[in-house]
Structure 1
Amino acid sequence: MTQSFDVETFIQARKRTRVISDLLRTKASDHLSTLAPLVRPQPLFGEYLQGAPRGSGRESQHHFKAFRTLFDKHAGAQPFNLMNELDIPLNVTSSTPALFALEYDLALTSDERISVSSPVRWVVGYASFEPSRFREVIGDPNRSSAELQRFLVHYLMLFHCFSKAEGLGRLLRDLRFPISFQRLEGFGDLPFCIMGSPIDAILPDESIIRQSTEISGSQSFEELIDEDALDTMQDDLREQLLVAMRDMPPKT
């Protein structure tokens, strides 16, 4: 969308984006819910997790040591600056994965920034641990160290479980909702699990963004899905089959 701002065209683009995004998010949530048992921390951590049944002693110890190393790496660093040590057993109050809006800041000028959200990518977190609240806790000068640690433990736990789930990444990629690990602004080097989708969204020209926010009076904007997005969708399996056919040896 590089043309001049046209209200009717913009409204149609927003409607198209919302319809497609809602459908994609529903499918992504369904996949995540179905596969949730594969990333539950209880089987990995056993007695190191509060309320979990006893697991394989050596394997549980291995996962806890790896998690403690991960926690120590991030807890004392910016922007968390936590001095607390991990309590055993770990108190993970939620182990149900959920999808949250992926948001980032966009600088329009040196002193004007807006919040941009993606309609086709989401942060994977645990229920009741929204990234927006996590950001608020980090930025609060009177924050509770205990609450900050709970957020950090839950997001690191999710990262650990996803990174240890063999084959899950390939499965989600085949389902067209790939998982990647990404750092987000304001959270230091903390790795977040990001779920994508088979369609990309774009930011229009800054003049359109500026006029939209001026009209709405809001300092937020959502990326838009292009009207040709469905026509240009990639089918990885189809492409692999076509390549396999092309690579077949010629008839003798």
Structure 2
Amino acid sequence: MERTFDIESFIKARKQTRVVGDLLHEQATDYLDTLGLLIRPQTIFGEYLQGAPRGSGREAQHAFKEFKSLFENTAGAAPFRLIQELDVPLEILSSTPQLYPYEYDVSLAGRNKPLRVTSPVRWIVGFKGFELQQFRQIIKDPNRSTAELFRFVVHYLMLFYCINRAPGLGRLLLGLRFPVSFEKLTDFGDMPFCVIGSPVTSHLPDEGLILRSTEIAGNNTFEELIDEADVAEMEDAVKERLMKAIAAI
């Protein structure tokens, strides 16, 4: 969105972004709550998790072996440097998926430190009670609790494994226009995160507007903006597929 806004247009864009972003977040949360049973680790790992019912022995054993390899390759590397092994049965404190803000840093001329940017149309999926912001703080804390870091690493890797194991879930959410992707985030090394998008895009305005806004607000954060034109021009994937099929006859 490389164009200059006046302050009135900026205020209007902020209001539109908040309204649309809140509605999209509500819809994505509703879908995730409905589909949450498809990614419950208890049904995949069975007796390898504390309190879980006994599952299919061979399948559960195979799943835990794969997860153990994923954990060792990720947790043993920077920035975690964990040396703990996975004890069986593994304790999972939460298996309810929840959406957390998708954030990243950008460097702007005239600023001494990076600006933290939030997307109103994309979210990180984690388990309830394991906020991504808290995870980031634990990693940066030189006096962090190793046990707490271990819990966060296990829960985020567990969620990734469960979602990645269910490709039908991704296709279903894509059909609902909330696509799933897997990404690596700054500060988290090679750990893969599940990201849920939406049918609307958001952008950063020009740097001058960002600098003015953050100076007036006196903070170090900024939210991407949604353009009304992007909402008006939203494509219908199902319609497009049907029209192409008809045209091919």
Q: Scaled by the length of structure 1, what TM-score is found?
A: 0.96
- Alignment of 1:203 onto 2:204: yes
Aligned partner letter, 1:183: K
* 2:216 corresponds to: 215
* Structure 1: distance between partners of 2:87 and 2:108: 44
Q: 2:11 matched to which residue of 1?
A: 11
**Alignment deviations for residues 115-153 of structure 1 (CA, whole Å, 9 cap, x no partner):** 000000000000010110000000000011110010000
Alpha-carbon offset, residue 234 of structure 1? 1.4
Residues 96 and 126 in structure 1, CA contact (< 8 A), matched pair in contact too: yes
Retained in 2: the 8 A contact 1:134–1:151? yes
Stretch of structure 1 that moved more, 105-114 or 60-69: 105-114
Distance 1:229 1:244 in 2: 26
Give the superposition deviation at 1:112: 2.6
1:100 alignment partner in structure 2: 100
AA of the residue aligned to 1:90? L
Q: What is the SS of the residue equivalent to 1:230?
A: helix
* Partners of 1:234 and 1:193 in 2: CA distance: 24
Distance in 2, matches of 1:235 and 1:121, equals 19
Aligned-partner residue type, residue 244 of structure 1: A
Structure-1 residue corresponding to 2:231: 230
* Change in 2 beyond 3 A, CA 1:241/1:70: same
Partner residue of 2:40?
40
CA distance in structure 1 between the partners assigned to 2:126 and 2:2 by the alignment: 35
> Structure 1 CA distance, aligned partners of 2:213 and 2:83?
44
Note if contact 1:50-1:90 (Cα within 8 Å) is conserved in structure 2: yes
| Secondary structure in structure 1 of the residue aligned to 2:102 | strand
CA-CA distance at 1:208 after TM superposition:
0.8
- For residue 155 of structure 1, what is the aligned residue in structure 2? 156
3-state DSSP class of the match of 1:242?
helix
* Paired residues for 1:82-231 under 5 Å: 82-109=82-109, 111-231=112-232
Gaps of 5+ in 1: none
d(CA) in 1 for partners of 2:225 and 2:145? 37
Cα deviation, 1:32-57, whole Å, max 9, x if unaligned, reads: 00000000000100000011011111
1:65 maps to amino acid: K
CA distance in 2, matches of 1:103, 1:120: 11
The letter for the 2-side match of 1:193 is C
The answer as to whether partners of 1:5 and 1:211 remain within 8 angstroms in 2 is no
Report the number of matched residues. Answer: 248
Query: TM-score w.r.t. structure 2 length?
Result: 0.97
Q: Which runs of 4+ in 1 moved over 4 A?
A: none
CA distance in 2, matches of 1:133, 1:232: 37
CA distance, structure 1, for counterparts of residue 5 and residue 224 of structure 2:
15
C-alpha separation between the residues in 1 aligned to 2:228 and 2:236? 18
How many Å separate the matches in 1 of 2:240 and 2:5? Answer: 37
Letter in 2 for 1:143: R
Is 1:22 matched with 2:31?
no
When structure 1 is superposed on structure 2, of 1-10 and 172-181 the one drifting more is 1-10
What amino acid does structure 2 have at the position aligned with 1:26?
E
Aligned CA distance change for structure 1 residues 4 and 230 (closer, same or farther; 3 Å):
closer
Instruction: Measure the CA separation in 1 of the matches of 2:4 and 2:94.
Output: 47
Identity %: 57
Matching of residue 56 in structure 1 with residue 56 in structure 2:
yes
